[in-house]
Amino acid sequence: MVFLTLISTLGFVIFLILIQLGILQQKEEAFASSLIKNRTPALTRMMLFFTNLGKAAPTITIGLLLFAFPDTRESIAPQTATSIFVVSGLAYLIKRLVRRDRPINHRLVEEKDHGFPSAHAATSAAMYGTIAMTIGSLLPQAVLPMAIFACLIAFLIGFSRVYLGIHFLTDVLGGWFLGTAVASLVTLLFMT
C-alpha cells in the first residue's frame, strides 16, 4: 500500500505539472473531439447514468449504507467515510488553487466549478478503492474481483465525465491518481 500511495501521489503531481505547463492541451482537445464524433444516444444515456452515480447523493448513500450493516459498520465504513471526506476536501481545495477551466464546447452537462481534478473521478477512486482494499485485506481471495470491480466503476464514472464534455482527460486522470493515493493511504492507516 505504501508503494501504491507513492506512485499515485507521483502520478497526480506529474499531471498537475503537465496541466500547469499546458503541454497536453492540444492532445486533450483532439481526444475530446474524437469522443464527440462517436457519441450515440444509447452511450450517452449510459454515461449519464455513471456520471450521476458519481454525484454526492449516491456517494453519501453508499457510505451511509456501509454504516447500516453490522458486518461493514466497523470493518469497512469508517475508512470509506474517511476517504470520501478527505478526497472531497482535497479536490475542492485543489480546484480552487489550480483554477483550470473546463472544456467549453459540446458539453452535455453543465458544471460551474473548475475542472482539475475531477471530483467525480477522485471520489469514485477513493470510495471504491478503499472498499476494495479493505475487503481484500480481510478476505485475500477477494482481492482480484474487488480490484476489478473498483477499477471498472471508477473508470466508468471518470470516463463519463470526459465523454459528456465536462472534463479534459487529464482532469480525470489526476482525479483517479488523487483518489487512489487517498484510498491507499487511508486503508494503510486503518490497517496499522
pLDDT digits (tens, 9 = 90+) for 149-185: 999 999 999 999 999 999 999 999 999 999 999 999 9
What is the distance between the alpha carbons of residues 65 and 68, in angstroms, rounded to a whole number? 5
Residue 121 near residue 157, CB atoms below 8 Å:
yes
Residues labelled catalytic: 120, 167
Asked if CATH classification 1.10.10 holds for the domain at 2-191, the reply, yes or no, is: no
Task: Look up residue 134 and give its amino acid.
Answer: T
Share of the chain above pLDDT 90, in %: 79
Q: Would you give the DSSP letter of residue 192?
A: -
Q: Closest by alpha carbon to 96, among 82, 121, 117?
A: 117
| pLDDT, mean over the chain | 94
Residue 178 sits at the vertex; the CA angle it makes with 172 and 179, to the nearest 5 degrees, is: 90
Q: For 8-43, how does the pLDDT look when each residue is reduced to its tens digit (9 = 90+)?
A: 999 999 999 999 998 898 999 899 889 989 999 999
155 phi and psi angles, rounded to 5 deg: -60, -50
What is the distance between the alpha carbons of residues 48 and 174, in angstroms, rounded to a whole number? 21
Residue 5 near residue 184, CB atoms below 8 Å:
yes
Residue 115 near residue 100, CB atoms below 8 Å:
yes
Residue 63 sits at the vertex; the CA angle it makes with 130 and 192, to the nearest 5 degrees, is: 40
Q: How confident is the model at residue 1 (pLDDT cuts 50, 70, 90)?
A: confident
* Rounded mean pLDDT, 43-67: 95
Residue 192 has pLDDT above 90, yes or no: no
41-53 and 143-163 are packed helices; what angle lies between their axes, rounded to 10 degrees?
Answer: 120
pTM above 0.85, yes or no: yes
Share of the chain above pLDDT 70, in %: 100
